[in-house]
Amino acid sequence: MQLKSLEISGFKSFADKTKIDFQAGMTGIVGPNGSGKSNIIEAIRWVLGEQAVKSLRGTKMTDVIFAGSAHRKPLNMAKVTITFDNSDHFLPLDYTEVSITRKLFRNGDSEYLINNQACRLKDITNLMVDTGLGKDSFSVISQGRVESVFNAKPEDRRSIIEDVAGVLKYKKDKQTTETK
């Protein structure tokens, strides 16, 4: 599986629709302070199901919607689509290309889509949970996170290892069964 592209519109500083095509190999994103590099990484985490507003540097979820600038009015919707090449069927879906979309409107309404079909947030998190790409995974390592792993309590470090090992999904399923 490979990250193919990311489309961002109305998300944080990306008022206009912006598409990034990722080529094979390594991609570096460079730019001056405040130009939106971290916003791109947050767009990836957000579309994969991030629900923790604080880790998106906001106080409420609608803070991710373009808030306007000196020359532009605020927008009413943030939309991010991430597309993976799935020709190796790493994601357990029949499609050779999988796109995931998340939309958020200023009134708080959300929409989630997998290959343009409406789905629940849970469908996205379930799809990602054992890929190592889930929202809490270590595929995205932000500044300060390395240090926090070293300083983590043993039980927290254990949950990190469980996540990496792919057993988290079974634990969650077990919890759901137990609470039923």
46 vs 61: CA distance, rounded Å: 10
Annotated binding residue 92: no
- On whether the CB atoms of residues 7 and 80 are closer than 8 A, the answer is yes
The one among 5, 13, 18, 38 contacting Mg ion by CB under 5 A? 38
Half-sphere exposure of 75 (CA within 13 A, CB side): 18
- Of residues 13 and 131, the one with the C-beta less far from Mg ion: 13
Which listed option, ligand ATP, Mg ion, none, makes contact with residue 66 (CB within 5 to 8 Å by class)?
ligand ATP
> Is there binding between residue 12 and ligand ATP (CB under 6 A)?
yes
The sheet carrying 97-105 orders its strands as 18-21, 2-9, 77-85, 97-105, 110-114, 117-119
- Of residues 79 and 86, the one with the C-beta less far from ligand ATP: 79
130 vs 110: CA distance, rounded Å: 24
> Is there binding between residue 46 and ligand ATP (CB under 6 A)?
no
Q: How many residues does the chain have?
A: 180
Annotated binding residue 35: yes
> Is there binding between residue 13 and ligand ATP (CB under 6 A)?
yes
Compute the chain's Rg from CA coordinates.
Answer: 17
Annotated binding residue 32: yes
- Of residues 44 and 65, the one with the C-beta less far from ligand ATP: 65
- Of residues 68 and 92, the one with the C-beta less far from ligand ATP: 68
Binding site for ligand ATP (CB under 6 A): 12-13, 31, 33-39, 63, 65-67
- Known binding-site residues for ATP equal 32-39
